[in-house]
């Protein structure tokens, strides 16, 4: 069974540009989460989808971040425009139900110059 996949693995962009990160959860997992770790800080929750609906987006830092999960399968996280402080590793996780463990992807390392 394939795990959670994320694309790209690395992204280097300039301040002000737009970047879109993609996450493919494990097939059949209705719950999808985004987390990120910025330099020197702890892994922080961003938001949680149940199928295509946003269950909790309390961790989204500001309106430059937009997450979507059309069709309830893969999800995208767009940062527009990117700022220097957005640099970090963005993790996606999925779970079959809310009572099950979360399976994490390898993360996307975003560098904003």
Partner 1 sequence: LAKTTQPISMDSYEGQEVNITCSHNNIATNDYITWYQQFPSQGPRFIIQGYKTKVTNEVASLFIPADRKSSTLSLPRVSLSDTAVYYCLVGALSYNTDKLIFGTGTRLQVFP
| 61 backbone φψ class: left, alpha, beta (φ>0; ψ -120 to 50) | alpha
Q: Does 44 bind partner 1 (CB under 8 A)?
A: yes
Q: Does 87 bind partner 1 (CB under 8 A)?
A: no
Q: Does 111 bind partner 1 (CB under 8 A)?
A: no
Number of helices followed by number of strands (H, E) in the chain = 0, 11
Q: Which of 31, 32, 67, 88 binds partner 1 (CB under 8 A)?
A: 31
Burial class, 113, CB count within 10 angstroms (exposed 0-12 / middle 13-18 / buried 19+)? exposed
- Applying CB under 8 A, what is the total number of residues that bind partner 1? 26
Token output for 3: 């795990």
- Segment near partner 1 (CB under 8 A), from 12-20, 63-71, 74-82, 103-111? 103-111
Q: Which of 45, 60, 68, 78 binds partner 1 (CB under 8 A)?
A: 45
């Amino acid at each position: 069974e394939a795990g959670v996949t994320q694309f790209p693995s690395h992204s280097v962009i300039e301040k002000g540009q737009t970047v879109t990160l993609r996450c493919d959860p494990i097939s059949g997992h209705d719950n999808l989460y985004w987390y990120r770790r910025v330099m020197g800080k702890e892994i922080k929750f961003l938001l949680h989808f149940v199928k295509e609906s946003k269950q909790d987006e309390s961790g989204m830092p500001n309106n430059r971040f937009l997450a979507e999960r059309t069709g309830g399968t893969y999800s995208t996280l767009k940062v527009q425009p990117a700022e220097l402080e957005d640099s970090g590793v963005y993790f996606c996780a999925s779970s079959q139900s809310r009572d099950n463990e979360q399976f994490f992807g390898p993360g996307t390392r975003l560098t904003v110059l």
